[in-house]
Amino acid sequence: MNKKRSDCPISCSLEIWGDKWSLLIIRDLMLNKECTYGDLQKADEKIASNILATRLQNLLENGIIDKKDHPENKLKILYHLTEKGIDLIPIIVEINLWGDKYLIIPEERKKLLEDIKRDKEAFIKRAKTYLSNEIK
């Protein structure tokens, strides 16, 4: 990890995963369990390849994600959340709920929000269990 700007836990955490692109990578890995570089580039937000490469490297170096060889194509790599990354699920859930409260969310995105609002703790537990099975 690079030199810290301060000893504040919020500042230190945001230096690792707090920018827009890192959070969107974490979101995609949370929803899809694992993704290739190409999968991440196809997200609606259209991340540039240089930014994606930089953010993936930062998340790898800080233990938020890990990578493994693709079982069907040795030229591809699959990225997935580590336990440290999985522990960010409650934060991603809260960001979703904040967005639902204050922003106009398209109907096609509301199913996930409805699942979260129905029983937030159960949703988080299911997501953690689902993703943890990948790394064991």
> What pLDDT digit, counting tens, does each position of 91-129 carry?
999 999 999 999 998 888 888 899 999 999 999 999 999
Gap between the Cα atoms of 87 and 117, Å rounded: 19
Res 136: pLDDT: 56
**Closest C-alpha among 18, 124, 128, 20 to residue 62:** 18
Structure tokens that stand for 91 in this block: 């934060």
| Interaxial angle between packed helices 9-17 and 49-61, expressed in degrees from 0 to 180 and rounded to the nearest 10 | 130
What are the tens digits of pLDDT across the range 15-73? 989 899 999 999 999 999 999 999 999 999 999 999 999 999 999 999 999 999 999 99
Cα(126)–Cα(54) distance, integer angstroms: 30
Q: H or E segment at 88?
A: none
Which pLDDT band holds residue 4 (cuts at 50, 70, 90)?
confident
